[in-house]
Structure 1
Amino acid sequence: MKKQALVFLILPLLFYVSSCNRGKAADALNETEKTETVKPDSIEKKAVLTIDTIDYNKRMVALSNNDTTGRWPVKAPYPLPGALLPYNRIIAYYGNLYSTRMGILGELPRKEMLAKLQDEVAKWQAADSTVKTIPALHYIAVTAQGAPGKNNMHRMRMPFKQIDTILSWAKPINALVFLDIQVGHSTVKAEVAELEQYLALPNVHLGIDPEFSMKNGERPGSKIGNFTAADINDAIDILANIVRKNKLTPKVLVVHRFTQGMVKNYKEIKTVPEVQIVMDMDGFGSKTLKKSTYMSYIYREPVQFTGFKLFYKNDNKKDWKMYSPEELVKFTPKPIYIQYQ
């Protein structure tokens, strides 16, 4: 197996896409009210909701599995009230409705897929009863393309009616929805801005994929792309503005990663109360390889929260076996976002 690249799959469907090679608002727990100091020219006290910081800190230490290196938990601003993390563990099904090969979301009929997702949620809840486990549908809303397309951007935006379909599927099981972006030759800023009407919904969050960000004009899939901290900060700024403008609870931003070069200048990624960042360990392979990747690029380069991707097929090839929830909750730090493909 080549270094950490973990194998490419080329999808021959309605359009070219390299297979992702990576593999409600939270309970407002322990929210308290505080009162601001009254200004001399004011006759009213303004009530401000905040989280219970003592409870939050305890949860973050528990999530770090008592890491002793000082990396975890990461020092960051406290989130706005209603934050999903660390109060919930998100279990997501990933894919695209045009393809049966891009992930379990799209591979199985709706009823079968939702039942299987709920079964995984139950398994994770049993493996770690200290954190509430919730479902999510993680839909690839912008796919990288081998062909340039009419705008020469090497990306295809999915029709909004498909996003509407995913939202309708999520509603009966009270699932979150993530919209995932493969920018091709476009930019994070341009593609996220197109989805603002959906990201303004309380249960819709964002995923961005550096693998297909081709900054030097390469064809997506011909090499592994990258995001700089500035790219990721563009997504954070847009999400934070949406949260403030619409008075929402924090958004979750998932950033996929399975090599060192996929994320540049990680120390410059900003953390803000309106956005919760998950660095998701992508990539399929043996347990040994996947743990090594998690330690090298997720654990050693801390941003805020961590995720882990599991492949029903590609993690179970040869003598490989997919990680179980019981095994993953022993990792340091514990992944709080789990994605199945």
Structure 2
Amino acid sequence: MNLCRSFRFKTTSGSLFILSVLLAGATSCRQEPENQLAAAANPQQNQVELTTAPDSVVKPAETKAWAYPGPEPLPGAILPQKRIIAFYGNPLSRRMGILGELPPAEMLAKLDEEVANWTKADSLTPVQPALHAIVVTAQSKPGRGSKYRLRMTDKMIDDVLELAKQREAIVFLDVQVGQSTLQLELPRLEKYLKLPHVHLGIDAEFSMKNGGIPGRRVGTFDAVDINFATDYLAKLVTENNLPPKLLIVHRFTQRMITNHQQITLRPEVQIVMHMDGWGHPALKKDTYRRYIQKEPVQFTGFKLFYKNDLRNSPRMMTPAEILALEPTPLYIQYQ
């Protein structure tokens, strides 16, 4: 059984036309089935060997002490005092995640439900709601600049910030660099990252360092890339007297992140290694143990898919099951 990801992209060449397709909701991301041509070319891609059996009984969550690596964060840090519950996607597409799948009022009401579920499951850890928006999307065509990525407009980001205000939610800006780099993409987002409630996500799956086309194989980030991002954020924190920033790093295979032991931990930035694969609960737990538990870096995250997690399973994982993981995730993302 595969722990799958979906890779359909727009196939037009002009960036303006690509955006119109996105606005029409024709973009697909991880909610859609895998690209069949890519799967045929590389049938081993995204496969995870199952080494654990499904739990027959869900154990209650236990309080586990974990000595978080790295220096103590600066005042105002969110983790580990709170658990973040985030809705992920793009408000211009109904097919990239729950953030854009539902009308705004319905989406926020559903977020309220998940916040209540997690508050009930772990009453000792306050919940911080969040909206996690993809603001640079990987593309299957070169597009403007031949970087295989499409930058969203400031208006889209502003709209997400306005939605977040309605729930006192923090915001994550997620970057899929394609054949671009973090060095090129982060400066454009700086005016938003200077805001105290705006944080960053970087998706290694779509970082095509060797010139590949996004979606045809899984990309990678090295410790050098992650250190650039944390250094960039740390400087913003210091220069603007901000509380610590959060950096979410997507991961669901070994090669997605290389040289993790060389990642520099800083008091200005809190790093979350985020398990970002979908499938049966047993597969998701196994992937978490293989690639997150063994190389946690600092804090950990876990993703739940409203659609894809049900493709090969009759149910999604429960908060109790996720709370029983070691280390206990403090960032939970719904797509």
Same fold (TM over 0.5): yes
Residue 38 (structure 2) aligns with: none
For residue 328 of structure 1, the aligned residue among 322, 330, 334 is 322
* Separation in 2, partners of 1:153, 1:215: 11
For residue 228 of structure 1, the aligned residue among 198, 215, 222 is 222
Residue 281 (structure 1) aligns with: 275
Residue 321 (structure 1) shift = 1.7
Residue 65 (structure 1) aligns with: 64
* Separation in 2, partners of 1:315, 1:153: 31
Runs (4+) of structure 1 exceeding 6 A deviation are none
The answer to whether the 8 A contact 2:134-2:174 is kept is yes
* Separation in 2, partners of 1:250, 1:321: 36
Structure 2 unaligned runs (5+)? 11-17, 34-60
Residue 9 (structure 1) shift = 3.9
Residue 10 (structure 1) shift = 1.2
The amino acid of 2:194's aligned partner reads A
Shift of the 190–64 alpha-carbon distance from structure 1 to 2, 3 Å rule, reads farther
Shift of the 207–7 alpha-carbon distance from structure 1 to 2, 3 Å rule, reads closer
The amino acid of 1:237's aligned partner reads D
For residue 296 of structure 1, the aligned residue among 286, 290, 293 is 290
The amino acid of 1:300's aligned partner reads K
* Separation in 1, partners of 2:219, 2:31: 12
Structure 1 unaligned runs (5+)? 24-61, 67-71
The answer to whether the 8 A contact 2:279-2:312 is kept is no
- Provide Cα deviations, 1:126-148, integer angstroms capped at 9, x if missing partner: 10111110110000000001110
* Separation in 2, partners of 1:232, 1:192: 12
Matched, 1:150 2:144: yes
- More strand per residue: 1
* Separation in 2, partners of 1:22, 1:76: 37
* Separation in 2, partners of 1:185, 1:145: 10
Residue 195 (structure 1) aligns with: 189
The amino acid of 2:102's aligned partner reads L
Within a 5 Å distance, the mapping from 1:107-186 to structure 2 comes to 107-186=101-180
The answer to whether the 8 A contact 1:22-1:282 is kept is no
Shift of the 203–308 alpha-carbon distance from structure 1 to 2, 3 Å rule, reads same
Residue 268 (structure 1) shift = 0.6
Residue 42 (structure 1) aligns with: none
SS at match of 2:234: helix
Percentage of matched positions with identical amino acids: 55
The answer to whether the 8 A contact 2:279-2:313 is kept is no
The answer to whether the 8 A contact 2:9-2:139 is kept is no
CA RMSD of aligned residues (A): 2.0
Residue 72 (structure 2) aligns with: 78
Residue 19 (structure 1) aligns with: 29
Matched, 1:8 2:6: yes
SS at match of 2:144: coil
The answer to whether the 8 A contact 2:244-2:269 is kept is yes
The amino acid of 1:65's aligned partner reads K
Shift of the 20–244 alpha-carbon distance from structure 1 to 2, 3 Å rule, reads farther
- Provide Cα deviations, 1:173-226, integer angstroms capped at 9, x if missing partner: 100000000000011121111100000001000000000000111110010000
Q: What TM-score does the superposition give when structure 2 sets the normalisation length?
A: 0.84
The answer to whether the 8 A contact 2:9-2:140 is kept is no
Between Structure 1 and Structure 2, whose CA radius of gyration is higher? 1
SS at match of 2:237: helix
SS at match of 1:338: strand
SS at match of 1:80: coil
Q: What TM-score does the superposition give when structure 1 sets the normalisation length?
A: 0.83
Shift of the 17–261 alpha-carbon distance from structure 1 to 2, 3 Å rule, reads farther
Shift of the 172–163 alpha-carbon distance from structure 1 to 2, 3 Å rule, reads same
The answer to whether the 8 A contact 1:210-1:226 is kept is yes
* Separation in 1, partners of 2:304, 2:237: 30
Residue 249 (structure 1) aligns with: 243
- Provide Cα deviations, 1:217-265, integer angstroms capped at 9, x if missing partner: 1110010000000001111011000000100000000000000000000
For residue 95 of structure 1, the aligned residue among 89, 93, 101 is 89
- Provide Cα deviations, 1:77-119, integer angstroms capped at 9, x if missing partner: 0000010000110000000122101000000000000010011
- Provide Cα deviations, 1:44-92, integer angstroms capped at 9, x if missing partner: xxxxxxxxxxxxxxxxxx99824xxxxx533310000010000110000
* Separation in 2, partners of 1:63, 1:98: 40
